[in-house]
């Protein structure tokens, strides 16, 4: 199972290869558990809760990628809401289905 796109930089491909399938599924389950508790989250909030609850050293891209996989699987969806972050950029608020 490829965990990086073929057009991603080599460093992303190497990182994807370093994550085992079982680890990927475990992180997905943890992400779903956070959504079960909080219902609506942007990626920064999801990352903060994930680090607090499971692994303070997990990379942002790992959590974001697992969330994206759950969107692709139909378990999480775009809520239609957006928030403005501290940097002034807007972010999608995700929701469990």
In a domain, 63, yes or no: yes
Residue pair 76/94 in contact by the 8 Å Cβ criterion = yes
Residues 32-40: contacts with CB within 8 Å, 24+ apart?
Answer: 32/70, 32/75, 32/76, 32/96, 35/76, 35/94, 35/95, 35/96, 36/96, 39/95, 39/96, 40/79, 40/81, 40/93, 40/94, 40/95
In a domain, 70, yes or no: yes
In a domain, 75, yes or no: yes
Instruction: State pTM to two decimals.
Output: 0.78
Range of the domain at 18: 10-96
* Predicted pLDDT at 64: 96
- Judge whether residue 85 has pLDDT over 70: yes
Domain count, the chain: 1
**Exposure string over 21-44, b if 16+ CB within 10 A, otherwise e:** eeebeebbebbbebbeeeeebbbe
In a domain, 17, yes or no: yes
Task: Quote the DSSP letter at residue 58.
Answer: -
CATH label of the domain that carries residue 54: 1.10.10.10
User: What would the pLDDT profile of 2-27 be if each residue is shown by its tens digit?
Assistant: 455 567 676 665 566 555 557 889 99
User: What would the pLDDT profile of 30-84 be if each residue is shown by its tens digit?
Assistant: 999 999 999 999 999 999 999 999 999 999 999 999 999 999 999 999 999 999 9
């Amino acid at each position: 199972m490829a965990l990086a796109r073929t057009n991603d930089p080599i460093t992303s491909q190497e990182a994807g290869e370093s994550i085992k399938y079982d680890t990927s599924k475990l992180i997905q389950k943890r992400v779903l558990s956070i959504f079960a508790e909080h219902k609506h989250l942007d990626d920064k909030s999801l990352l903060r809760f994930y680090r607090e609850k499971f692994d303070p050293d997990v990379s942002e891209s790992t959590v974001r990628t697992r969330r994206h996989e759950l969107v692709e699987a139909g378990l999480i969806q775009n809520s239609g809401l957006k928030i403005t972050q501290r940097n002034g950029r807007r972010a999608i608020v995700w929701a469990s289905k």
